Amino acid sequence: MSPKYYTGTGDKKQASIGPKRIEKSDPIFEAIGAVDELNAKVASLEAMLGDDKIYRISEFSLCKALNKIKSRLFTIGAELAFYSSKNFAPKNPTNDADVKWLEENIAVMSNEFPEIKSFVLPGGCIESALADEARTYARNAERKIINMSNDVDIENGSLFAYLNRLSSFFFVAERFINCRKGITESKPEY
């Protein structure tokens, strides 16, 4: 017999977080779903980078960084679910060291290209366009979590700082990818 990959319990507009049944439109599901969407976008970017030799600097590897970010996003999903069910207490909640790690990686990548003097248009190549999409998904997840925090007291300030910094990470990753591929950034005309 094949394994069953569905329960059917969500067919009536509700889903479970632990023992609790909650409307699928609840802000907690909006937040967890946005983090899940972001994680899938990060996976797409990582897969598109393939052999990341051109995206390495000394100890830094963009693919390894993306893999670490995917794991952290799973932890953030558990952190959010914890506010509905204590069954989801993460072993390793997002903390200031995670934020600092992002900042350090942003600094490493940003040393590879000139300082920004104006707005730049997204994209340049498929990989940098995916990095820019990840940036927008990170901003969306941040907004959804802030919205959730209007109903639930999210005490972990590092979680908000991490998501805020994550969108900066992806903006810098977009510029880093373009730089490494020799693509000139375009300025908007407005």
Residue 107 located in a structural domain = yes
Indicate whether 174 belongs to any domain: yes
Residue written as tokens 């779903």?
A: 33
**Residue 82 belongs to a domain:** yes
Residue 121 binned pLDDT confidence (cut-offs 50, 70, 90): confident
CATH number of the domain encompassing residue 146: 1.20.1200.10
Res 97 pLDDT > 90: yes
Mean pLDDT of the chain: 90
Q: Is the pLDDT of residue 159 over 90?
A: yes
What is the C-alpha separation between 173 and 169, in angstroms, rounded?
6
DSSP characters over 9-36: TTTTSEEEETTEEEETTSHHHHHHHHHH
| Inside any domain, residue 29 | no
Classify the C-alpha dihedral 98-110-176-129 as positive or negative. positive
33 domain residue, yes or no: no
60 secondary structure, DSSP code: E
pLDDT > 70: what percent of the chain?
Answer: 100
- Which residues 6+ apart lie within 8 Å of 65 measured at CB? 105, 169
**pLDDT computed for residue 85 by the predictor:** 73
CA 22 to chain centre: 24
pTM for this predicted structure: 0.91
Joined together, the tokens standing for residue 81 give 């679910």
CA distance 97 to 65: 14
Q: Residue 23 falls within a domain, yes or no?
A: no
| Residue 17, pLDDT score | 74
Residue 76 lies in a domain: yes
Instruction: Examine the pLDDT at 36 and tell me if it is beyond 80.
Output: yes
Local confidence band at 13 (pLDDT 50, 70, 90 cut-offs)? confident
Residue 86 belongs to domain spanning: 65-112+120-183
Question: Which pLDDT band holds residue 38 (cuts at 50, 70, 90)?
Answer: very high
Checking if the pLDDT of 10 tops 80, the result is no
* Region 30-52 average pLDDT: 94
Query: Which DSSP helix (H) or strand (E) runs through 61?
Result: strand 60-61
Q: What pLDDT sits at residue 131?
A: 97
Which helix (H) or strand (E) element contains residue 70? helix 62-82
Chain centroid to CA 92: how far? 17
**Domain count across the chain:** 1
In a domain, 140, yes or no: yes
